[in-house]
Amino acid sequence: MFKKTIENCFILKKRGLACLGFLLSVFFCPQYYLPKYNPLMNQVEKLQAVLKDYESKLSSLQKLFMSDGKIDAQEQEVISEIEALMGRINQRLDKALAASSAATSSTEETKEELGREPQFEVDPNKRWSFDDFMKERSQVVVDKGSLTAAEKDYFADYAALAQKYIDEKMAKYGKGQKSPITGQALADAALKTYLKYGDIKKVVPVEMMLSQLQFETFFGSRGNREGSEKSPFNVGVYDSGDANFLDQLPDMNAGIEMYFDLMAEDYLSTKDADELEKNFTNEKDQRYASDKEYEDKVQRQSDHIESFAKKQGLDMPDEEGLEEDDQPSGKEENEETPTANSSISASVGKGGENKKADAVLVQKTLNAKNNAGLAVDGDVGPLTIKAIRNYQQKTFGWQDGLIEVGGKTAGSLFGHTSASENNDTPSAENDSTVTEDQPSDDGKTSEKEGNYQKPAWISKAEGYKGKAETAKMVKDDPFVKMLFQELGTYDEWAHKQTVKTANWCAAFVSHCLKKSGQPALSYYDGGRAKKYLDYGRKIDKPAYGAIVVFSRSGGGHVGFVAGQTDSHILTLGGNQGNKVCIKAYPKSKVQGYVVPSSWTVPEENYLD
């Protein structure tokens, strides 16, 4: 085979494509051309590049062979050999993608949820003051070496997006000027605020910060009032004059830090960023700007920046890994028996998220209900998984070792009926083929589900439970690709995106509504979670089957209401831990509930 391939390479040389011999040698001596990179995604990218090169050269070769109007038998043999090699490269690529997907999933499952001790305590009865800021500024300890991976990622993404956006806008509208502010300086000031207060919620989201910086002084380049040169966010710069402290600022970096500190201690002291975006006032109802349309402008510009980040393939800083665990924790460890109202916030068991508080609750409950004899230590090891399997086998006659939020095992263990009782019943593995059926009847018929009327879009969504991401890029993930093709944004945008930056939760909701015969948002609106706040008809309390929108840095999250605990909404949706599943989200982050205009919510579906 090798000798035959070399002979055919000489044929190619005669036809003017000696370089193809190199491509063939890539396959026979891959160790020289495909180094064993780690992490695996580098190997994926390398294989994709080689495959793309093959495709390009093969196309050129076919055109060359056809230059005399035909392809003879020897030339066809060469083409067939190359196509066979490409098939084998594709097999390698499939294996690498599968390994990469597993590695990504593992990383997601073990994502650390952090809390950081504040270096300064905030006195809620004391207003922000410049004197306190200046005194404390030099006392904040910034040790980047102590940052966790999640913290490093957050502020690296913050700096990258800020720099890219500033560069883009200055190039278009800066009239030849350069901004004196760098993305790194902004990220460093944000980091200092985070370390000072120990709470990521007190850091202004990058899209809001950039919006304000653009409006106030166009990134420090157009401050038209005295004081703006050191205070690019116009803190202390008023229509009627400047605050008397501005001349005490040593430089612009201090002015940037002053903005973040003021926002943390004053404007974000009683509101989160989404609330502030709607009403840009502090707790004393004092406005940040005299412009009455400031909120609308900031909101529109923030949305634009989120879209900009997606188009550029940039990650929005992800605060999920930086927050303290705000999921329901069940009971404290000194309580012997969990009550019927106890619940887990995320999956526990084989392949589960296995948060410690949830694991403790499961271990206690299994000990109380099934005499499991487990150590209550919050570690999900072989003994805990075996105990889960034993309980499932005894109770249901099947076992998979995993307890899902809102699932049948959770409902049985914790003494409550879930919104969907077979949620964690074992199912076949996902395959990568996407097939679509049409809704039966009119697609809008509700069926009975326990105490609820189950609308057709919930049935559609449940059919995808467990469907997981399979690739890094949207174009390589059949399911996610289908969602954006259906919206009409695949060819012009989504095909260039990673699955992570595509944020496919809203696209999944749109798909389920459409396939169940309901109107759905489409095009770019159909892929943006917050746009669903304007969909259909608003309801003022959670209802099984309703669409729920949550606030989240980077554009929000949307899914379907599948149940609730005292503090959380159980949400059936996509892009939840890289898959379609039921996951608990805090009620404090709910921005609204909506339903299709044509659907009258059955009284029994209301959860409150």
Query: Tell me: the pLDDT tens digits for 94-126?
Result: 676 666 555 544 444 333 444 578 888 766 667
Average pLDDT over residues 476-497: 89
- Which contiguous run of DSSP H or E holds residue 48? helix 40-65
For residue 266, the 8-state DSSP code is I
Beta strand pairing call for 452-454 and 447-449: antiparallel
Q: Report whether 404 contacts 411 (CB < 8 A).
A: no
Hey, which of 46-50, 512-516, 523-527 has the most confident mean pLDDT? 512-516
User: CATH 3.90.1720.10: which residues of the chain?
Assistant: 447-605
User: Alpha helix (H) ranges present in 489-561?
Assistant: 499-502, 505-515
Confidence of residue 342 (pLDDT cuts 50, 70, 90): low
Q: Report whether 596 contacts 536 (CB < 8 A).
A: yes
Sign of CA dihedral 480, 483, 486, 487: negative
Average pLDDT over residues 80-85: 75
- pLDDT the model gives residue 238: 61
Q: Report whether 444 contacts 72 (CB < 8 A).
A: no
CA separation for the pair 510, 519 (Å, rounded): 9
CA separation for the pair 34, 202 (Å, rounded): 45
**pLDDT tops 60 at residue 10:** no
Residue 96: Cβ within 10 Å count: 20
Q: Which residues of 295-304 are buried (b: 16+ CB within 10 A; e: fewer)?
A: bebbbebbbe
Amino acid present at 181: I
Residue with tokens 């307890």: 403
User: Alpha helix (H) ranges present in 110-201?
Assistant: 130-137, 149-173, 183-197
CA separation for the pair 403, 370 (Å, rounded): 15
**pLDDT tops 90 at residue 441:** no
CA separation for the pair 351, 358 (Å, rounded): 14
72-86, 156-170, 495-509: which range is least confident on average?
72-86
Phi, psi of 582 (to 5 degrees): -100, 130
- pLDDT the model gives residue 426: 43
Residues 6+ apart with CB under 8 A from 439: 456, 460, 515, 516, 517
Confidence of residue 435 (pLDDT cuts 50, 70, 90): very low
pTM across the whole model? 0.44
Q: Which CATH class is domain 447-605?
A: alpha beta
If you write DSSP's letter for every residue of 314-349 in order, what string do you get?
PPPP--GGGS---S---S-TT-SS--TT---SS-EE
**pLDDT tops 50 at residue 30:** no
**pLDDT tops 70 at residue 321:** no
- pLDDT the model gives residue 166: 93
Residues 6+ apart with CB under 8 A from 370: 387, 390, 391, 394
3-state class percentages of the chain: helix first, strand second, coil last, to nearest 5: 50, 10, 40
82-91, 148-157, 202-211, 396-405: which range is least confident on average?
82-91
Average pLDDT over residues 160-170: 92
Residues 6+ apart with CB under 8 A from 442: 517
CA dihedral angle for residue 569, residue 571, residue 575, residue 578, rounded to 10 degrees: 90
Q: Report whether 262 contacts 128 (CB < 8 A).
A: yes
* Average confidence score pLDDT of the chain: 76
CA separation for the pair 243, 525 (Å, rounded): 43
**pLDDT tops 90 at residue 372:** no
- Which contiguous run of DSSP H or E holds residue 241? strand 241-242
Look up residue 307 and give its two tokens.
């879209």
- Which contiguous run of DSSP H or E holds residue 230? none
Phi, psi of 562 (to 5 degrees): -120, 0
Residues 6+ apart with CB under 8 A from 304: none
CA dihedral angle for residue 469, residue 472, residue 478, residue 481, rounded to 10 degrees: 100
**pLDDT tops 60 at residue 555:** yes
SS3 258: helix
- pLDDT the model gives residue 26: 47
Cα-based angle 167, 169, 175 (whole degrees, multiple of 5): 100
